[in-house]
Amino acid sequence: MSLVNGLLYAAVTLVGSLVAGLYVFQENLLYHPSIPTRRYEENPNDYLMAYRDIFLETEDGIRIHGWLVLQPNSRKAPTFLYFHGNAGNISHRLSDVQHFYSRVSCNVFMISYRGYGDSQGRPSERGIQRDAAAAFQFIRSCELIDPRQIFVFGRSIGGAVAISLAYRFQREIKGVVVENTFTSIDDMIDYVLPALRWCKFLNRNKWNSAAIVSSLTCPILFLSGLRDELVPPKLMKQLHDLATHSVYRQMVTFPDGTHNDTWFRGGSAYYDAIATFVHKALSISDK
């Protein structure tokens, strides 16, 4: 074998290995249940919130875990299904959820996606969609909850989870709130990993919210941190503009909000926007 042929063979082998690795291990690039840690570091009691441990089985037999945080008169309060981002677990969102609890006066059902926290399995788009469906099916039949006041919230990739769930069950969901989410993972590759644009055909975790958000008729609130360093705010604007069939849609921006702290930097205005949206969505459904 000549030197040139040898180098060509080595290059083809390297590219082939890279492609195979991207295909096989792509979930490891997208989902990070162990950053900063997979174990729960706190629980709702640490934030003076009453809760119940909930274990569910998904349609493919995976056991997932969640916390159902309850208002004192839970049947009279709206309930949010809460979908977090791609790193950490539900214990890392308790400070945020405490504000939902106290300022929006709602119940919150937080779930750990498969492979996160105390949930079994490994994360994938199809698997997390099944987790979300199991959580919704539980909450709509829970005797502690008013099924006529169910909302979904999602941050970052959780926004894609929320939109996907609402697409499937929108007749039973009163409203959707998404924060700093994206149009699709393929679009995010263009921004975050532009060198890998050529291999987007290998992506099996599409989370293509842009393709389905126009089908949603329920009210939608878009919360966007304008200093988001990961998801370009223009993708949130694109999602908002695509939601043309929503009976009521609203975009609220926070000039100082970055990808992970928009809820914190937004302060009272952030939660006031959610509370006002809940009231508006429920009033629309009563007409």
Would you mind telling me the total number of residues written for the chain in this entry?
287
Residue 41 has pLDDT above 90, yes or no: yes
147 in helix, strand or coil?
Answer: helix
Of 42, 19, 209, nearest to 110 (Cα)?
42
| Amino acid, res. 160 | A
Q: Give the domain ranges of the chain.
A: 31-285
Q: Tell me the DSSP string of 13-72.
A: HHHHHHHHHHHHSHHHHH-BTTSS-SS----GGGGT--EEEEEEE-TTS-EEEEEEE--T
Burial status of residue 120 (CB atoms within 10 A of its CB: 0-12, 13-18, 19 or more): middle
- In whole angstroms, what is the distance from residue 167 CA to residue 126 CA? 14
Per-chain mean pLDDT for the chain? 90
Q: Which residues make beta-bridge pairs with 155?
A: 179
Q: Which of 104-113, 183-192, 220-229 has the lowest mean pLDDT?
A: 183-192
The candidate with the shortest Cα–Cα distance to 48, out of 20, 71, 14, is 71
Of 220, 226, 224, 280, nearest to 244 by C-alpha is 220
Q: How confident is the model at residue 65 (pLDDT cuts 50, 70, 90)?
A: very high
pLDDT in tens, 173-198: 999 999 999 999 999 989 887 877 77
Work out the burial of residue 25: count CB atoms within 10 Å of its CB; fewer than 13 is exposed, 13-18 middle, 19 or more buried.
exposed
Tell me which CATH homologous superfamily contains domain 31-285: Alpha/Beta hydrolase fold, catalytic domain (3.40.50.1820)
Give tens-digit pLDDT for 237-255: 999 999 999 999 999 999 9
The residues annotated with a catalytic role in the active site are: 156, 228, 259
